[in-house]
Structure 1
Amino acid sequence: MNKNLILLWQGQLVSQLGMQAYSIAMMFWLMENTGSSVLMGFILTLSILPNIFFGPIAGVIADRFSRKNIIIVTDLTRGVAVLILSIMIFCEFGSQFFIVMLFATVSVINGISRAFFQPAIDAFIPDLVATEQLSKTVAFFQSSTQCSAIVGQAMGGLLYRALGAPILLFIDAISYFISAFSESFIKSDFKKRKSISGITNKYKQHKVDLAEGLRYVKSCKGMYQTMFFASSINFFIAPIMLLLPFYVTEQLLEEAQWYGFLLAAMAIGSVLGYWISATINVQGNRKTIVMFVSMILFSCSLMLLSQSVSSKIALFSLFMSGLSLGVFNLQATTLFQNNTPTELRGRVMSLLMTISGGLLPLGLMVGGGLGAVTHNNTQFIFGFCALGIAIITILSSLNSKMRSYILNPASEWLRPQPFS
């Protein structure tokens, strides 16, 4: 692995650790101080909605401007926002309602930053590595950040009880600053495209760039369908992640640290899944089998989770869920990255993020609504989500266009002339 990849990797490793601290601090602070799954779902939705609104714009920017600079600026923005939130809670500045509004505001800021960050980094990594090494590089990045997440998740619940929300949020803020510092040393050979003068001309060029990305995706038969399938999984995962704290305290009858343990088990499984997926190097029809079978295994694991009242079985279920999801995610991510030209990769990956972002709020709203109606009956809700994943996987496996894209992701795309 070259120096640039190491710098990017170590920055993401640290920020991932802080991100888990923020997630646990926010979820448990809201649960303990409000007890409302609807409010928790609403604030999580606020962090996702920017992906929908800014996704297409972010993809164009990731292809037009320096991806390195985008990553650094978004990390710094998130660090400042979380640091302010940490100070406000620590100083007990304002009422509970005020703190909830701060969480909502920071969630929006984080969401906007992530909307620009994710397509930039997804498009940046293939620029720093040879094509034949991309699969293993992505697996290394994903598995190592998951290892960092494991530490954060396993310790997060314990640290929340020992230190409280303000300290965990402070850790998150510092992690973003460290990440931005590390990324600033990356050497990038990015060549900025010729600047266009005039607001009207820039707007027209943006429309051309956006249409160009959509045209490419449309030219790849079955690519849209594959994107929707990969993204639809998020709709069913959202209620499970939202209600997992209630599952821990009400179905398993465990303390807060078990929330971190369960997330860590899923992360460990995901690490193993990424490396298994990178090692097997499947092609052709076997690739379709691996992708669809991994989702069926994911569904079965979640169904086992939904019916369990044993902490050990819950750990095993989420471990298997992470493993199967890791196998699928690596196959899907590299499928899109490998078969998209670098000058279009930001737009394609942002479109994928936009579709995913559009389905996540729906999943959170459904999860929050079901939680309110059923008094957080996680056994029913988790089972419903597991069944939904199984059904959509079976239907997708019967889609000939999707199978065709996975088997042969070729495109008849021809680059249009730039706007002038």
Structure 2
Amino acid sequence: MTKEILKWKQYFFTIWTGQAISLFTSAILQMAIIFYLTEKTGSAMVLSIASLVGFLPYAVFGPMIGVLVDRHDRKKIMIGADLIIAAAGAVLAIIALYMELPIWMVMIVLFIRSIGTACHLPALSAVTPLLVPEEQLTRCAGYSQTLQSISYILSPAAAAFLYSIWELNAIIVIDMLGAVIACITVALVRVPTLSLEEQSLERNFMKEMKEGLVVLKENKGLFALLLIGALYMFVYMPINALYPLISMEYFVGTPMHVSIAEIAYASGMLTGGLLLGLLGGFNKRIVLITASIFMMGASLTISGLLPSSGFAIFIVCCAIMGLSVPFYSGVQTALFQEKIKPEYLGRVFSLTGSIMSLAMPLGLILSGIFADRIGVNNWFLISGILIVGIALVCPLISVIKLLDENKK
């Protein structure tokens, strides 16, 4: 193995070791906060507001954050974002020592943490292609998905155990330590900075913000893929909120059945991430994306057709749904990293995150209106059919097909 290969692998896995630890501790805290809000209020509305607070900053501030990511040292932004997340947790932990945490204060801290996440994610996505060779981006996206999947599998059980023996402020301290570890691992890596000609020299904020959209629209294939993705998220994201409902009401299950479905989904994601890491050199990325969307749609369709006694088959469908996820999100991320110039990546990733985040609440509103009226199983069926339709349309769009042929 050459020195160059060893160097980029060392850098990538150093950063992602810290990110994995931070992701895991953050997921534990996020679940613990859900337990806390449920215990204190028992209100579905409060939980819905907490979920909204989690993605609202990305949806609203994404384009502005992207300009800052492209203007400044991305390594410092990642460290700063983690420190903001840790500081917000510290304030909450200190207050919890002296009084019972009011719900409004928890919401404010969730909002601040989500701002930190909205800064961190595009910076991390923009840093990766500066460290990793272009031909390895898809493989590294698979490894990233694997780490996220492990976190999704382990964090609910860890959160439930820790919340049963500790106060919330002790769990907050664990998340703070995770954020500090992430800062240290990023600090240990030398991240290349953009040359002067790659940086925006005019410092016109509004113009720079619009440039992210202009650059994205100039690559018609990526822009079309983004619109397909927004439509996909619009249809699919509401289903995320309905897994407990279909498990407990339609399949007449218990909270244990809900947990089994979640674990099956996360296990599928883990397997998909590992496979993507192994298949990272596969050149037909649009084929992988199309197959991923089709697998998701077909699994949802089958789930909607099952009788109420078909929970075992539903679990298999959940595993296939999870398996499909890395082949969509991981491959799409690698395509953007490959085909967008590094100086625009922060703005482009923030913009795409905003568009996806805005598609989610619209879909949630739609599902809330219809799922109760027609039955959750029928909503799974309709969503599955629509997603299969999206999968069939995607490869027929000529500019998307060309993404596998055109280089940056």
Range into which the TM-score falls when normalised by the shorter chain: 0.7 to 0.9
- Kindly indicate whether residue 151 of structure 2 is the aligned counterpart of residue 144 of structure 1: no
Alpha-carbon distance, 1:269 to partner: 1.4
What is the alpha-carbon distance in structure 2 between the residues aligned to residue 378 and residue 91 of structure 1? 44
Q: What SS class does the counterpart of residue 296 from structure 1 fall into?
A: helix
1:172 counterpart residue number: 175
Q: Which stretch has the larger CA shift, 135-144 or 335-344?
A: 135-144
Q: Assess, with a 3 A threshold, how the Cα gap between structure 1 residues 188 and 248 changes in structure 2: closer, same or farther.
A: same
Tell me what 2:17 maps to: 10
Is the contact between residue 235 and residue 359 of structure 1 (CA under 8 Å) also seen in structure 2? yes
Shift of 1:326: 1.3
CA distance in 1, matches of 2:378, 2:174: 36
Distance 2:389 2:319 in 1: 22
Name 2:393's counterpart in structure 1.
395
SS at match of 1:213: helix
3-state SS in 1 of match to 2:220: coil
What's the counterpart of residue 357 of structure 1?
Answer: 357
Give SS of 2:12's match: helix
Answering whether residue 121 of structure 2 is matched by residue 122 of structure 1, we say: no
- Note the 1:20-419 alignment, pairs <5 A: 20-86=27-93, 93=100, 98-99=102-103, 101-161=104-164, 163=166, 167-190=170-193, 202=203, 205-251=204-250, 256=255, 259-280=258-279, 281-283=281-283, 286-306=284-304, 307=306, 312-369=312-369, 373=372, 378-404=376-402, 406-409=403-406
Q: Percent identity?
A: 24
- In the alignment, structure 1 segments of 5+ residues that lack a partner are 412-420
Q: Deviations over 1:335-362 (max 9, x none)?
A: 1111111112222222211211211222
Q: Structure 2: give runs of 5+ residues left out of the alignment.
A: 1-5
Name 1:414's counterpart in structure 2. Answer: none
CA contact (8 A) 1:55 1:115 kept: yes
Q: Is the 8 A contact 2:293 2:390 kept in 1?
A: no
Equivalents in 2 of 1:158, 1:242: separation in Å?
A: 23
Once the two structures are overlaid, the 10-residue window that deviates more, 308-317 or 173-182, is 308-317
Deviation at 1:310, TM superposition (A): 5.8
* 1:217-241 CA distance string (max 9 Å, x none): 2221232110122233332333233
Cα separation, partners in 2 of 1:397 and 1:188, compared to 1, 3 Å? closer
Distance in 1, matches of 2:278 and 2:242, equals 34
Contact 2:141 2:331 (8 Å CA) reproduced: no
CA distance in 2, matches of 1:246, 1:114: 29
> Once the 2 structures are TM-superposed, how far is the Cα of residue 56 of structure 1 from its aligned partner?
1.3
Change in 2 beyond 3 A, CA 1:86/1:362: farther
- Per-residue CA deviations over 1:360-407 (Å, capped at 9, x if unaligned) read 222334445557x559x5434444433332233333343333333x33
CA shift in 2, pair 1:365/1:105, >3 Å: farther
Aligned pair count reads: 397
Greater mean deviation of Cα atoms: 233-242 or 346-355: 233-242
Describe the superposition over 1:261-287 as per-residue Cα deviations: whole angstroms up to 9, x where unpaired. Answer: 43333222122223333434333xx43
Cα RMSD, aligned residues only = 3.2
Question: 1:332 Cα deviation (Å)?
Answer: 1.2
CA distance in 2, matches of 1:351, 1:4: 27
One-letter amino acid matched to 1:407: D
Q: 1:93 aligns to what SS in structure 2?
A: coil
Letter in 2 for 1:387: I
For the residues of structure 2 that align with 1:166 and 1:34, how far apart are their CA atoms?
A: 18
2:88 partner amino acid: A
1:135 and 1:388, CA in 2 relative to 1: closer, same or farther beyond 3 A? same
Shift of residue 260 of structure 1?
4.7
Deviation at 1:13, TM superposition (A): 0.8
CA contact (8 A) 2:286 2:400 kept: no
| Aligned counterpart, 2:3 | none
